[in-house]
Amino acid sequence: MRTMKLGTSQLEVPVLAVGCMRINSLEKTEAERFVQSALDAGANFFDHADIYGGGTCEEIFSEAIHMNDDIREKIILQSKCGIRKGMFDFSKEHILESVDGILKRLKTDYLDILLLHRPDALVEPEEVAEAFDLLESTGKVRHFGVSNQTPLQIQLLKKSVKQPLVANQLQLSITNSTMISNGMNVNMLNDSAVNRDGNVLDYCRLNDITIQPWSPFQYGFFEGVFLGNEKFPELNQKIDEIAAKYEVTNTTIAIAWILRHPARMQPVTGTMNIDRLIDCCKAADVHLTRQEWYEIYRAAGNILP
C-alpha cells in the first residue's frame, strides 16, 4: 500500500483509511477475516468513533484483531468524540472521559489520532486546548484533528490549541463534490458557485491538513451508492469504461478519482465486504489521467463554466 505523511506530522500512513463504523454488523469470525484482510493489503489505518455502535464497534474491532502490544505497534488507530445523544459536546470533561472510554474499548494505551466529531456550537477553544494538552502529556493521544469543520472553525480552535491539527474528515465523493466545484465556478450565477464551506479544500491544502473523505461512494446524505445506480447512467457508463481500461472494478475507479486530486487526500472506506475493500486498496496503484478525471467529473452532472 502506498503511504503518505498525515498533515504536518511525521506519521506515515496508508493512502486509505479503513472505516469501522459498520463492523458491528459482522459475526466474530467475519470481523476477524475482515481485519486480517485489511492488514494483508497494507491497510493498517483504522478509523473509529465512540458513537459507532454506541462503542460496540471499537470493542468488536479490538477482539477481532486480537489486540496486544505487538499488534498495536503495527497499526494506526484513529477515533473521534464529541457527538452525544441530542447534542455535540467539546467540553474538556467530555473529551477526556470519551478518550478514556475509547482506549478501554480498543484495549490500547494510546490513540495515534483523535478527531473532534462534528462542530460544537458551544465550543470553548480554551477547554479543548486544556483537554488536548492533558491527553498529549499523558501519552493518551499523539496527534489531533477535526471532522466536518470549516476554515474559520479550525482557526478558532487554533487560537488556543497548540497542537497541529493534522486532519479534517469531510464528506466527498464523485457525486458530492461541492468543495471542488465551487472552486471552479468562481463568481458564476449558478448553484455550483455557492461557497458552502469557506473554501475548506484550499484552506486544508494551504495549511497541510489532510482531508479524509468519508462516504466516498454515497450520493446525497446516505441516500445510497452511485455505483451501479440507475439514477446515474452516464456516470456509471464512464466509470465502467475507464475501469475496463485499467482492468479494475468500478469501486477502484471511484476511489482513484479522489486519490488523483493533488490535495493528497486519504479516503475513508466504509465497506465491510472484503472483496470491495481489496478493490478500494487497488486504487492506490491507479493514476487517472487529467482527461479521465474531468470526464468522470462531468459525467456526474457537473458542468464546467
pLDDT digits (tens, 9 = 90+) for 252-273: 999 999 999 999 999 999 999 9
Which residue matches cell numbers 484552506? 203
| Residue 21: φ, ψ to 5° | -65, -30
pLDDT class for 283, splitting at 50, 70, 90? very high
Return the closest-CA partner of residue 213 out of 155, 275, 263, 285: 263
State how far the alpha carbon of 45 is from the alpha carbons of 1, 16, 78, 176, 251, in Å. Answer: 11, 7, 8, 24, 19
Confidence of residue 220 (pLDDT cuts 50, 70, 90): confident
3-230+264-270 belongs to CATH 3.20.20.100: yes
pLDDT at residue 277 above 90?
A: yes
Catalytic residues: 52
The 10s digit of each residue's pLDDT in 52-75 is 999 999 999 999 999 999 999 999
Please state the rounded mean pLDDT for residues 104-118. Answer: 98
Structure confidence at residue 221 (pLDDT): 82
Give mean pLDDT, residues 136-160: 98
Mean pLDDT, rounded, for 76-87 = 97
pLDDT in tens, 3-43: 999 999 999 999 999 999 999 999 999 999 999 999 999 99
Residue 222: all three cell numbers together: 446516505
Beta strands 83-84; 87-88: pairing state:
antiparallel
Q: Give residue limits of the domains in the chain.
A: 3-230+264-270
pTM over 0.85: yes
Cα(65)–Cα(76) distance, integer angstroms: 12
**What digits encode the pLDDT tens for the residues 176-205?**
999 999 999 998 889 999 999 999 999 999
Stretch 76-91: mean pLDDT: 97
Return d(Cα 142, Cα 114) in angstroms, integer: 8
Q: Are 154 and 146 in contact (CB under 8 A)?
A: yes
| Mean pLDDT calculated for residue range 213-227 | 93
